[in-house]
Amino acid sequence: MATNLDVDTQLIEQLMRLGGFKSKREAVDAAVAEALAWRRQLKSCEFLGTIDFRPAPLPVSGSGPSLPA
């Protein structure tokens, strides 16, 4: 999808230099992918401490399904 963006030239040049990118498109694609990864990590942090990983207690003898002999 072709899109025209008005991006700060100095930022793009700095990103290309530091990231070793050969084209503006390569630099922008990498920056967008990195921003998405960062946002996904932030979103997943919302769940820290909310999931109970303790195993459920085993059923008491006679109360669970019986196994065939």
Of 39, 37, 38, 12, nearest in space to 27 by CA: 12
Q: Is the pTM of this model over 0.75?
A: no
Which range, of 33-37, 59-63, 64-68, averages the lowest pLDDT?
64-68
**Distance, C-alpha 1 to centroid of its chain:** 23
**What are the percentages of helix, strand and coil residues in the chain, rounded to 5?**
50, 0, 50
pLDDT at 66: 65
Q: What angle do CA 32, 48, 30 make, to 5 degrees?
A: 10
Q: What is the domain partition of the chain in residue ranges?
A: 9-45
Structure-block tokens of residue 52:
């109970």
Q: Convert the pLDDT of each residue in 12-36 to its tens digit.
A: 999 999 999 999 999 999 999 999 9
pLDDT at 2: 82
What band does 56 get if pLDDT is binned at 50, 70 and 90?
confident
